[in-house]
């Protein structure tokens, strides 16, 4: 079941990467990190198929935000890229997904590993007060540290870089909560940047841990929890690393020490960063 929602804003980060916000359906509830099906109203000569999109906005936000690439010959994105404020987008009524805190056993450190548009669910989780907890607000502590690791081909694709490096810390209430807890770790593979290399290589070499100020070179099953969202090859490679480090895969039915989003196995909005 879908409801028709109005486009509030659109931002084109690159010719092939854009984000947009929609009005939120009445009574629409979701957990930060989940995805929902989107579609466009059918018109003469246009009958796209619905696709899954991770919700980028936190679960308390007034509007729903999404991030998308323009997939070559994509039945939906080839039209979705042209939306403007005031247009209508169809939003599914049943958000779901495995990238939720309840799919993980308790831990101290949360590593969010994403490539391309795989950063989308991390933006929801990173802005969720419940990810961190707050004694003053009576919210139980979940993670002491959240490491948001985003790998892309080109620096321009680090679409939320300014927000994650500066703007989030200036937000009222949220800024104080994430201060000293949220750590942003971007990497680029195809041009000079402050950091270059695939996330997989940075983890295996231990560079990621060293640059994050951690006195170790691998994940610690006792304290670390990992979420993964990217292309099929990246997801598989990161999963193998987690298993080699002694982590075990979880799900919404059986929590573990790492989780992988499986909804996008045939979906293009989370391209590899290689």
Which of 92, 110, 134 is at the close of a domain?
A: 92
| 134-148, 176-190, 248-262, range with the lowest pLDDT | 134-148
Residues 208 and 255 in one domain: yes
Tens of pLDDT along 174-188? Answer: 999 999 999 999 999
Contacts of 88 (CB under 8 A, 6+ apart): 4, 5, 6, 7, 40, 41
Alpha-carbon span 258 to 233, nearest angstrom? 17
Same domain, 22 and 119: no
Same domain, 107 and 62: no
Q: Last residue of a domain, which of 62, 92, 122?
A: 92
Residue range(s) defining the domain that contains residue 112 = 101-260
Q: Which residues contact 167 (CB under 8 A, 6 or more apart)?
A: none
Which residues have a Cβ under 8 Å from the Cβ of 192 and sit 6 or more positions away?
none
Average pLDDT score, the chain: 93
Mean pLDDT to the nearest integer, 101-127: 97
- What separation, in Å, do the N-terminal and C-terminal C-alpha atoms of the chain show? 37
Cα 244 from Cα 151, distance rounded (Å):
21
241 within 8 A of 94, measured Cβ to Cβ: no
Residues 125 and 147 in one domain: yes
Tell me which of 92, 112, 136 is where a domain ends.
Answer: 92
Task: State whether 83 and 123 are in the same domain.
Answer: no
Checking if the pLDDT of 169 tops 80, the result is: yes
pLDDT of 270: 47
222-240, pLDDT tens digit by residue? 999 999 999 999 999 999 9
The pLDDT, as a whole number, for residue 265 is: 44
Residue 123 resides in a domain? yes
Q: Tokens 């919210």 sit at which residue?
A: 139
* 19 domain-assigned: yes
pLDDT of residue 122 exceeding 80, the answer is: yes
pLDDT given for residue 71 in this prediction: 86
Tens digit of pLDDT for each residue in 61-108? 999 999 999 987 888 998 999 999 999 999 999 999 999 999 999 999
Residue 141 sits in the same domain as residue 252 = yes
pLDDT above 90 covers a percentage of the chain that reads: 85
Residue-level pLDDT at 264: 58
Q: For residue 268, is it within any domain? A: no
Residues 115 and 221 in one domain: yes
Per-residue pLDDT at 159: 96
Please determine, for residue 266, whether its predicted confidence score (pLDDT) is greater than 80: no
Give the H or E element holding residue 235: helix 232-244
Q: Is residue 193 part of a domain?
A: yes
Please answer whether residues 248 and 207 qualify as being in contact, where contact means their C-beta atoms are separated by less than 8 angstroms.
no
- Tell me the whole-structure pTM to 2 decimals: 0.93
In a domain, 241, yes or no: yes
- The torsion region of residue 157 among left (phi > 0), alpha (psi -120 to 50) and beta comes to alpha
CATH, residue 34: 2.40.30.10
Domains: count for the chain: 2
Same domain as 195, residue 61: no
Q: Which two tokens stand for residue 75?
A: 């039945």
- Token couple for 101: 């805190």
Q: Between these two residues, 167 and 263, which has the higher pLDDT value?
A: 167
Residue 271 has pLDDT above 50, yes or no: no
Q: Is residue 213 part of a domain?
A: yes
Is 109 found in the same domain as 78? Answer: no
What whole-number percentage of the chain has pLDDT above 70? 95
Q: Is residue 274 part of a domain?
A: no
Check whether 132 has a pLDDT greater than 60.
yes
In angstroms, rounded to a whole number, what is the distance separating the alpha carbons of residues 88 and 20?
12
Average pLDDT (160-183) is: 96
């Amino acid at each position: 079941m879908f409801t028709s929602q109005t486009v509030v804003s659109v931002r084109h980060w690159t010719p092939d990467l854009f984000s947009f916000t929609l009005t939120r359906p009445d009574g629409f509830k979701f957990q930060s990190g989940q995805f929902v099906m989107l579609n466009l109203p059918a018109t003469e000569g246009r009958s796209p198929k619905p696709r899954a999109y991770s919700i980028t906005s936190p679960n308390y936000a007034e509007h729903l935000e999404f991030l998308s690439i323009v997939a070559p010959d994509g039945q939906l994105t080839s039209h979705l890229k042209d939306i403007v404020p005031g247009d209508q987008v169809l939003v599914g009524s049943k958000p779901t997904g495995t990238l939720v805190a309840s799919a993980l056993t308790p831990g101290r450190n949360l590593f969010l590993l994403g490539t391309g548009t795989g950063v989308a669910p991390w933006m929801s989780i990173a802005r969720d007060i419940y990810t961190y907890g707050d004694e003053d607000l009576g919210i139980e502590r979940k993670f002491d540290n959240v490491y948001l690791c985003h790998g892309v081909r080109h620096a321009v694709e680090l679409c939320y870089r300014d927000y994650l490096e500066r703007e989030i810390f200036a937000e009222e209430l949220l800024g104080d909560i994430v201060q000293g807890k949220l750590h942003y770790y971007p990497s680029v593979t195809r041009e000079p940047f402050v950091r270059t290399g695939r996330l997989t290589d940075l983890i295996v070499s231990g560079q990621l841990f060293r640059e994050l100020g951690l006195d170790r070179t691998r994940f610690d099953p006792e304290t670390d929890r990992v979420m993964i969202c990217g292309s099929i090859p990246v997801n598989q490679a990161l999963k193998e690393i987690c298993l080699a480090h002694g982590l075990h895969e979880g799900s919404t039915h059986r929590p573990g020490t790492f989780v992988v989003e499986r909804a996008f196995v045939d979906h293009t909005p989370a391209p590899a960063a290689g």
